[in-house]
Amino acid sequence: MILTNKYTVIESHRYRSCNIELWDDGIIFIKLDDNSEINLKDSIEHHAFLKTKFDGKNKIRVLTESGRYTTITKEAREFSTQPEINLMTLASAVVIKSLAHRIVINFIISFTRKQNIKMRIFDNKEEAIEWLLSIKQ
């Protein structure tokens, strides 16, 4: 059963390649732009925002929705898989739009599993939200 999740955006920030929102249910939503390339600078900026929302105790839930034809550079991928980058993340759900996205995210998941981070791929945003909210601290 899929529940329709209602949420309120508490905070919203625009970056070069995405919008990042903090929702009242505690999820941080990253909506990547269509036709964009995520580079190392972008990844560092996104991580800096996430760090401001981590209180040192309660890990965060991240929902990322890829855009159409969104790509990520090798440097940004490598940065995103570093253990110290993911210390504050409880769970990460990624809503994908293509087979290419699935391949890249599966590569990233192979690293995050070793770091005890829950990460899953979804085709549907509502299912991703439901899964994130089911993950307990």
pLDDT in tens, 30-45: 999 999 999 999 999 9
Angle at 28 between CA 104 and CA 127, to 5 degrees: 65
Q: Across the chain, what does the average pLDDT equal?
A: 86
The listed CATH number (3.30.750.24, 3.20.20.10, 3.40.630.40, 1.10.8.50) that belongs to domain 9-134: 3.30.750.24
Name residue, tokens 């994130």.
Answer: 132
Q: Global pTM?
A: 0.84
Determine the pLDDT at residue 4. 46
Percent of the chain at pLDDT > 70 equals: 82
Determine the pLDDT at residue 35. 94
For residues 76 and 79, give the distance between their C-alpha atoms in angstroms, rounded to a whole number: 5
Most confident region among 74-88, 93-107, 121-135 by mean pLDDT: 121-135
Q: Could you tell me which residue, 14 or 111, shows the higher pLDDT?
A: 14
